């Protein structure tokens, strides 16, 4: 069995059996590239290229798995002095003194932008550690879908801490001896509990509880130190912070304190017949003593909002950076969300007063077709990384689709040939500086040359490779032979596994590298923190580029006949859209603090949200980074037309204030930077206003063309704006509604047999193989 065929297996079960994980990366044997279909990956960096960082802070068991990069806890494995990890509602940090624990509280932080950021920083209140031995630096000992084990050990002695998203507890198992609890400032023991197993402490104006085993003796050693004398054979305890001072809240937390979380699993299931995604969250527990009351799970707003299955069952809430986190006494819960679909491209425009203008833009873009992707390699290294190349591939393939729909098949073929040539050049691995390296010790494929710390910090995998996967899918829809595993499809399958493996054994790649199944969105920083901002946890800026990757999985799965990949993409896309609407846009008004005056947030961290970018505080780019690339999957942005108008109005106000402050850099961007993105965004609410606002000679974003911008706006003017109230029983569909109420129905058939599509309002559309069908 060759590597390419293994890659194409559903859900990548038993991936990459040809090579052992952690195979040595030195010596002449490993320096040879590994063939993947017609392409190849390098098993060691070339020349003077620096390798990705090592991840030594893992137990022996964890070292047999791929490194979990770009997760909320990834700082643990890369750093001997890790940054805090934000589990929500609690935060933790491993130090030489032990495991710090806190319940973060809101801080309103003014900025030079004349707005505020909302921070919930880790400020340690308790430090828990073994009394009988001095642990070595902490190591990641185990991971499941939303919980981790942290080992603080020395030899055979170990304090094992389990922390989980949404859990109000940290669970501890101690191999021998007693537990020491240090307070970061003098506290007092509260007298609310009559259970001798419970140590209730007031520290920094907050109440913490430690629940020991039957027979524990709590001894105060000083104003800032307590010792828990644990009885023989009962080396366990849990710790929590209380969200309020009500006795019934303490009783609830005490009741569930001995159901220790052992494992967590998230299973998303896409039902094509109803176009719904049902996600089941299940925690497996071990009851350490007493009756089995089950666990307490903390539900984020995207879990409990509009969820009838948990209505009337929710308990007290923690105030967190993600909004109210409600407790649910259950081992499992479900969410059900609609998948609204999209089609690869929109149909032919055959009439209208601006049709000639569209054809003129198409001809001009075709004349410069070889400039649409940045030069492969150049002397000043300008935009040659895989990120910019991927954006260029998007420009070319989107333009090819328009040429195809407008009947210019010769132009389509020329553009697809350019896209194939560039992808094959990269995938071939024979260029001087541009190649893919598979670091098997990490379980990561990275692209050289490095940019944005992609290699140095293992950043932005889903952003970079998402562009490539979606462009490859556009080729595969028209040239299935090119996408065969033994040709170039094997390399694309490798990139899919690199960002979205579902293999729970995690032997070759981490499970869902960037995606956080409990928070419902992705993280971007591979090593977990980001320089001075590491104290506030991992982060993601461009939520829209994450969605671009998941749309790419859907298209790739459909184009190659792999429903497992397609369904995974549907789950990821639907779930992340739901999270974006809560945590980036706050459409439901349940997350943003009243002090936060911005319409949206452009950067979501483990411990803060902010209206900014990594590279500039210029308002247009701050707003645009969570919109681009605007493509056919972007119809989700049309859910709230009033929000679109508010967002754009806020951007104009901020831009005026920015210019007034005189903060322009030495080489300022165009005053209309990304005007194509904002015109397309406005068109989702008001196509006529968008067309009036757009300057055909204005700036153009690096992943777009004037042709695609105008085609997008004219299409929405003809079809109407997206109608998200109607679903269909196929993954590639879209519905639009004109102001007069007339709907247009689209569906794409990637298969080889005729497809009958039934929409939820009863309309039926027959679609021929390999075509886009339309019904009015």
Residues 6+ apart with CB under 8 A from 33: 40, 41, 42, 43, 429
Whether omega for the bond prior to residue 89 falls within 30 degrees of 0, making it cis, is yes
Run of H or E including 101:
strand 98-102
**Which residue in the list 541, 581, 586, 617 is annotated as catalytic?**
541
DSSP-assigned states of every residue in 307-369: -GGGTT-EEEEEEETTEEEEEEE-SEEEEEEE-----SS------STTHHHHHHHHHHHHHTG
> What does DSSP assign to residue 485?
I
**What pairing do the DSSP bridges indicate for beta strands 198-203 and 147-154?**
unpaired
d(CA 61, CA 141) in angstroms, rounded, equals 7
What's the distance, CA 146 to chain centroid?
Answer: 14
d(CA 158, CA 694) in angstroms, rounded, equals 63
Instruction: For tokens 């929409």, name the residue.
Output: 759
Helices within 584-674 (DSSP H only): 619-624, 641-661
Query: Could you confirm whether 195 is annotated as catalytic?
Result: no
| Contact yes or no for 370/392 (Cβ under 8 A) | no
d(CA 494, CA 484) in angstroms, rounded, equals 13
d(CA 573, CA 577) in angstroms, rounded, equals 6
Convert 240-272 to b/e letters by CB count within 10 Å (16 or more is b): bbbbeeeeebbebbbebbbbbbbebbbebebee
Query: Could you confirm whether 493 is annotated as catalytic?
Result: no
Kindly calculate the radius of gyration of the chain based on its CA atoms and give it in whole angstroms: 27
Whether omega for the bond prior to residue 629 falls within 30 degrees of 0, making it cis, is yes
| Contact yes or no for 54/67 (Cβ under 8 A) | no
**Which residue in the list 83, 117, 404, 460 is annotated as catalytic?**
460
Taking the CA atoms of residue 713, residue 408, residue 776 and residue 344 in that order, the dihedral angle to the nearest 10 degrees is -70
Tokens at 401, concatenated: 């689709």
Task: For 696, list phi and psi in degrees, rounded to 5.
Answer: -60, -20
3-state secondary structure of 584: coil
Task: Label residue 177 left, alpha or beta by phi (over 0 means left) and psi (-120 to 50 means alpha).
Answer: left
Tokens at 237, concatenated: 């305890």
Strand partners, 86: 91
3-state secondary structure of 381: coil
How far is residue 265 from each of residues 53, 339, 493, 518, measured CA to CA in Å?
Answer: 29, 22, 25, 9
Whether omega for the bond prior to residue 685 falls within 30 degrees of 0, making it cis, is no
**Which residue in the list 115, 365, 545, 723 is annotated as catalytic?**
545
Residues 6+ apart with CB under 8 A from 129: 97, 98, 99, 135, 152, 159, 179, 180, 182
Task: For 341, list phi and psi in degrees, rounded to 5.
Answer: 75, 170
Query: Could you confirm whether 676 is annotated as catalytic?
Result: no
The catalytic site residues sit at 460, 541, 545
């Amino acid at each position: 069995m060759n590597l390419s065929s293994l890659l194409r297996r559903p859900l990548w079960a038993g991936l990459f059996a040809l090579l052992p994980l952690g195979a040595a990366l030195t010596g002449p044997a490993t320096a040879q590239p590994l063939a993947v279909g017609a392409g190849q990956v390098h098993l060691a960096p070339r020349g003077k290229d620096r390798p990705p960082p090592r991840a030594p802070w893992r137990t022996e068991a964890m070292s047999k798995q791929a490194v979990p990069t770009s997760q909320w806890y990834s700082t643990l494995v890369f750093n001997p002095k890790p940054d805090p990890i934000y589990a929500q509602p609690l935060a933790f940090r491993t130090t030489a003194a032990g495991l710090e624990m806190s319940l973060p509280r809101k801080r309103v932080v003014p900025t030079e932008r004349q707005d505020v950021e909302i921070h919930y920083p880790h400020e340690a209140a308790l430090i828990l550690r073994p009394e009988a031995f001095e642990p070595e630096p902490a190591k990641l000992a185990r991971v499941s879908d939303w919980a981790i084990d942290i080992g603080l050990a020395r030899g055979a002695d170990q304090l094992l801490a389990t922390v989980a998203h949404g859990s109000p507890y940290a669970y501890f198992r101690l191999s021998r001896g007693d537990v020491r609890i240090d307070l970061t400032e003098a506290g007092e023991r509260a007298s609310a509990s009559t259970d001798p197993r419970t140590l209730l402490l007031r520290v920094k104006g907050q109440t913490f509880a430690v629940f020991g085993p039957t027979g524990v003796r709590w001894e105060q050693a000083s104003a800032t130190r307590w010792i828990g004398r644990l009885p023989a054979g009962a080396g366990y305890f849990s710790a929590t912070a209380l969200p309020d001072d009500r006795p019934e809240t303490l009783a609830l937390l005490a009741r569930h304190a001995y159901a220790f979380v052992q494992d967590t699993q998230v299973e998303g299931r896409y039902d094509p017949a109803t176009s719904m995604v049902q996600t089941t969250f299940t925690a497996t527990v071990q009851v350490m003593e007493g009756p089995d009351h089950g666990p307490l799970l903390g539900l984020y707003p995207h879990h409990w909002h509009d969820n009838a299955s948990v209505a009337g069952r929710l308990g007290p809430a923690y105030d967190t950076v993600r909004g109210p986190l409600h407790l649910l006494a259950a081992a499992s819960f479900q969410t059900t969300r609609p998948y609204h679909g999209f089609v690869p491209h929109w149909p032919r425009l055959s009439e209208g007063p601006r049709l000639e203008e569209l054809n003129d833009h198409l001809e001009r873009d075709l004349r410069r077709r070889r400039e649409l992707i940045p030069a492969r390699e150049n002397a000043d290294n300008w935009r040659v990384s895989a990120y910019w190349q991927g954006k260029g591939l998007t420009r070319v393939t989107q333009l090819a689709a328009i040429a195809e729909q407008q009947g210019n098949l010769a132009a389509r073929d020329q553009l697809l040939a350019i896209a194939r040539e560039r992808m094959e050049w990269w995938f071939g691995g024979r260029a001087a500086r541009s190649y893919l390296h598979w670091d098997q010790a990490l379980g990561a494929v990275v692209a050289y040359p490095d940019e944005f710390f992609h290699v140095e910090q293992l950043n932005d995998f889903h952003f970079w490779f998402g562009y490539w996967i979606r462009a490859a899918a556009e080729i595969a829809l028209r040239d299935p032979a090119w996408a065969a595993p033994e040709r170039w499809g094997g390399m694309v399958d490798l990139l899919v596994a690199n960002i979205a493996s579902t293999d729970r054994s995690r032997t070759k790649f981490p499970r869902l590298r960037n995606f956080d199944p409990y928070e419902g969105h992705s993280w971007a920083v591979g090593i977990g923190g980001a320089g001075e901002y590491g104290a506030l946890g991992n982060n993601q800026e461009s939520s829209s580029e994450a969605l671009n990757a998941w749309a790419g999985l859907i298209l790739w799965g459909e184009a190659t006949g792999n429903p497992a990949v397609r369904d995974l993409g549907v789950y990821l896309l639907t779930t992340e859209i739901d999270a974006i609407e809560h945590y980036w846009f706050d459409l439901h008004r349940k997350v943003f603090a009243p002090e936060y005056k911005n319409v949206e947030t452009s950067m979501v961290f483990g411990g803060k949200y902010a209206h900014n970018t990594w590279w500039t505080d210029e308002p247009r780019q701050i707003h645009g980074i969570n919109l681009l690339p605007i493509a056919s999957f972007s119809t989700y942005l049309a859910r709230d037309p009033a929000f679109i108008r508010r967002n754009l109005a806020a951007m104009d106000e901020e831009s005026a204030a920015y210019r007034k402050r005189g903060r322009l850099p030495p080489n300022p961007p165009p005053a209309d930077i990304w005007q194509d993105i904002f015109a397309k965004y406005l068109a989702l609410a008001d196509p006529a206003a968008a067309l009036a606002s757009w300057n055909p000679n204005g700036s153009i974003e690096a992943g777009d063309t004037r042709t695609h911008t105008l085609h997008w706006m004219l299409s929405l003017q003809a079809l109407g704006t997206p109608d998200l109230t109607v679903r269909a029983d196929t993954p590639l569909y879209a519905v639009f509604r004109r102001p007069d109420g007339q709907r247009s129905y689209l569906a794409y058939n990637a298969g080889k047999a005729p497809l009958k599509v039934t929409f939820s309002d009863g309309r039926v559309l027959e679609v021929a193989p390999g075509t886009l069908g339309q019904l009015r």
